[in-house]
Structure 1
Amino acid sequence: MKLYYKAGACSLSPHIVALEAGLDIAIEAVDLKTKVTESGANFLDTNPKGSVPALTLDDGSLLTEGAVIAQYLADQAPASGLIPAAGSLDRYKVQEWLNFVGTELHKGCSPLFNPATPDEYKAIAKQNLERRLAYLEQVLADGRSYLTGETFTVADAYTFVVLRWTPHLGIDLGAYAKVAAFFARVGQRPKVQVALKAEGLLAA
């Protein structure tokens, strides 16, 4: 399998999941402006959407969309605990979090990254994002280590990646002590460190 990624983008989430699952996976960086991969290939030939992550399987099949790729990878290593069994309520709880992160946190960041977004709307988007972080703070206030309890799942990987963006958006996680602790906890996981180093986000 090969994962196409951009350093620090949402593709970092399935990269972390693959490592946590102990899967043998290749990675290849993509320049999202030129749509050229680090090997010189036209990325649009692989993924016509032109976005990362994209995962090519050994049989040539393509999967896109980060939350879907993360679940697929986790399902390849069920003993890892990264995703509960299909059809279980616990599985739907993890999917609930994936949807929340994707639609409320991830997409909530998008206007703040876009230089064309008017300042007035950026202020509104930032307030909305801060409300979502306050909700996350409330959930974590019961002392749980991860979003669904004491087991690290694909939803935690996705949340960690989005939280990495907050300093660049003018949001101080220090205002959310439980969220900041969660972020630090996930960031210290050995496989997370490996993924960050592989993408050039930490010193080797």
Structure 2
Amino acid sequence: MKLYYSPGACSLAPHIVASEAGIDLALEKVDLKEKKTADGRDYFAINPKGSVPAIELDSGDVLSEGPAIDQYLADLKPESGLAPANGTWARYQLQSMLNYISTELHKSYSPLFNPATPDATVVERKAYLQKRYALLEAILAKQPWLMGDHFTVADAYLFTVTRWAKAVHVDLSAFTALEAFQKRVAERPAVQKAMLAEGLITSGQVKA
């Protein structure tokens, strides 16, 4: 199974999930500007959406969209506890959280990476993100992970998108529980393994 990724992009979340679950993935880096894979192929021929992540199964089937991939990987290793069983109330709660992160956070960051975005829109999006993070801050002030006492795919996704805040100057310093959460996730060995593989940290930054 192969993961098409770009370092630090939202594809980091399924990379973390696979690492946490002990699933070996072949990695194929994608140049998102040129829409080319590292070996020179047209990425649109693999994923017509042109975005990462995408996973290619041994059968040749391709699955895109991070939250769907996260759940697929978790379901391959249910013993990992990364996602509750399908059909349970807890699974629907997880899907609700994944949708929240996707629509309220992930997509709100997108215009902040575009230098053509008007200043007024930048200000509005940053204020919007502050409001949406407030809900998660209240949750994380009461429990270590988004869904309770266990790390799940939702935590991998939140960690990934929240890492973007510094790059686009979104001030999250008031959210102390969120900051503590980011640190907890970053210190997980499986997370460090994925980040090291993407070149986001060096071997000297890996904690024992």
- Measured against the shorter chain, the TM-score band is over 0.9
Q: Number of paired residues?
A: 203
Q: Distance in 2 between matches of 1:43 and 1:111?
A: 23
Which residue of 2 is the match for residue 86 of structure 1?
Answer: 86
4+ residue runs over 3 A deviation: none
Q: Distance in 1 between matches of 2:175 and 2:115?
A: 26
How far residue 55 of structure 1 moved from its aligned partner, in angstroms, is 0.5
1:20 aligns with 2:20: yes
SS of 1:19's equivalent? helix
Q: Distance in 2 between matches of 1:98 and 1:194?
A: 23
Which residue of 2 is the match for residue 62 of structure 1?
Answer: 62
Q: Distance in 2 between matches of 1:124 and 1:42?
A: 36
SS of 1:63's equivalent? strand
Q: Distance in 2 between matches of 1:50 and 1:110?
A: 15
Q: Distance in 1 between matches of 2:200 and 2:121?
A: 30
Q: Distance in 1 between matches of 2:200 and 2:38?
A: 17
How do residues 1-204 of structure 1 correspond to structure 2 at under 5 angstroms?
1-142=1-142, 144-204=143-203
TM-score, with length taken from structure 2: 0.96
Deviations 1:127-151 (A, max 9, x none): 0001111111111121x11001110
Q: Which runs of 5+ in 1 are unaligned?
A: none
Q: Distance in 1 between matches of 2:50 and 2:164?
A: 21
- Computed over aligned residues only, the root mean square deviation of the Cα atoms, in angstroms, reads 0.8
Q: Aligned partner of 1:168: which letter?
A: A
SS of 1:28's equivalent? strand
How far residue 107 of structure 1 moved from its aligned partner, in angstroms, is 0.6
Deviations 1:30-83 (A, max 9, x none): 001111111122211111111100100011101000000010001000000001
Q: Aligned partner of 2:28: which letter?
A: E
How far residue 169 of structure 1 moved from its aligned partner, in angstroms, is 1.7
Q: Distance in 2 between matches of 1:76 and 1:128?
A: 35
Q: Distance in 1 between matches of 2:36 and 2:92?
A: 36
Q: Which runs of 5+ in 2 are unaligned?
A: 204-208
Deviations 1:108-165 (A, max 9, x none): 11121111110011101110001111111111121x1100111000000000001100
Answer whether contact 2:130 2:172 (CA < 8 A) is retained: no
SS of 1:161's equivalent? helix
